[in-house]
Amino acid sequence: MGITDYLDAGDVAAALAQCKAADSFSFKQFCATSGLAKKSSDTVNKIFNIIDEDGSGYIEAKELKFFLQNFSSDARELGDSEIKTVLSAMGMSDDGKMNATEFQKLVSA
């Protein structure tokens, strides 16, 4: 299953449109617009597992780069400054990792 199996396609499209320009990504805004912030813990964990492409149990900076492409294959990559902003929201360094619990907190913040 893909992320769009859990979220409304129109909401995802609206969220992607809001951050189409470089350096315009806001994790909090994206989660709100896409409907991710309103999903149950179980659904957020399922989405976490999709984003955790290597199955390590963590979303790492290299996986955050392609965060938007998990929602649509033609979406842009996140820039380094956007990745740093997401990682710092969890108090992590540039080479940090985000586990499912941290992802859940960030999504619902």
Instruction: Give binding residues for Ca(2+) as ranges.
Output: 52, 54, 56, 58, 63, 95, 97, 102
As annotated, the binding site includes: 52, 54, 56, 58, 63, 95, 97, 102
Given CA atoms 8, 59, 93, 39 in this order, what sign does their dihedral have? positive
The residues, ordered by sequence, that sit 6+ positions from 29 with a Cβ below 8 Å of its Cβ are: 15, 18, 19
Q: What is the DSSP string of 72-85?
A: -TTSPPPPHHHHHH
**Residue given tokens 């129109």 in the structure block:** 10
